Amino acid sequence: MVLETALWMPVLFLLITGLIQFGKITFIYYSLKKTVNTVADYLAVQSGINFCPDSGDPTIAAAIQFALTGTTDGSGTVAILDLTPDMIVVTPQCIDPTTGAPGTCDTSGCSTPVGAQRPDYIQVSIPNGYNVTPRIPYILLDTIPLKPQAVAAFGGAS
């Protein structure tokens, strides 16, 4: 009886550790998904957003800070460690009138006072991923890049 218990203990230990790590990764992915959904939902109802490339719009920065810290000025505590505002990308999407499929918006008007085309959707993603390394004793595992994304219909005015 003691010998059988001694033989099965490492297997049970690895199984329990693997389940805990799987739960941790699932929780982190859920938290990342909530973060990108928060950015998309925040921006979907705002007005006067400049979606031109390299515009550095303060509303987009405030939305990202709100999702990360709970405050628009970034003064709160970061909810997910090592997740920075640079990792989150906001992309406007417009519906192509010929195909009806969402795609990139026309940015040719960015240099004019009128500005870029008003988007139909806003896509928020972490394109390079948030790397998570599972820790299981005596087993070396590769990092897992978690890449959540969210799409919200844009209801504000550009």
Average pLDDT per 10 consecutive residues for the chain, totaling 158 residues = 89 92 96 97 90 84 94 91 94 87 79 70 96 90 96 81
Name which of 62, 39, 59 is nearest 49 in CA terms: 59
pLDDT at position 51 is 84
| Structural domain spans, the chain | 2-153
pLDDT at position 71 is 93
Query: Angle formed by the axes of helices 2-44 and 58-69, to 10°?
Result: 150
pLDDT at position 24 is 96
The whole-model pTM stands at 0.87
Backbone angles phi, psi at 157, to 5 degrees: -110, 135
pLDDT at position 116 is 64
CA distance 146 to 82: 13
